[in-house]
Amino acid sequence: DARVTQTPRHKVTEMGQEVTMRCQPILGHNTVFWYRQTMMQGLELLAYFRNRAPLDDSGMPKDRFSAEMPDATLATLKIQPSEPRDSAVYFCASGHDSYGYTFGSGTRLTVV
């Protein structure tokens, strides 16, 4: 089964440190999404790319978050500097049509 691979699975870091999360989308999928999941807000869109071009990153705090897709096999989400309120599960998803997307297992981030 094709799957979306996210690394690391877990990350504990101190406030102020840089955090980088990585995602390998499914080969052939041209659209990649980053979502954040918290108990309070549920799943929220942070950013997404189509054919590696950023289409919307309005869900991200611009001063500290950045998302890139350096090639078709890698998407990255960086937080610098990290804050305790960034603690959440970050999901990457990929797809190629409107009939649902495949999610990775997520990166569980804890900022202390």
**By the criterion CB under 8 A, which residues form the site for other proteins?**
4, 30-31, 33, 41-43, 45, 48, 50, 56, 91, 93, 95-106, 108
CB of 50 to other proteins, least distance (A): 7
Considering beta carbons, is residue 43 or 112 the nearer one to other proteins?
43
Considering beta carbons, is residue 65 or 103 the nearer one to other proteins?
103
CB of 41 to other proteins, least distance (A): 8
DSSP secondary structure string for all residues of 1-62: ----EEE-SEEEE-TT--EEEEEEPPTT--EEEEEEEETTTEEEEEEEEETTEEEE-TTS-T
> Are 88 and 109 a contacting pair, CB within 8 Å?
yes
CB of 16 to other proteins, least distance (A): 27
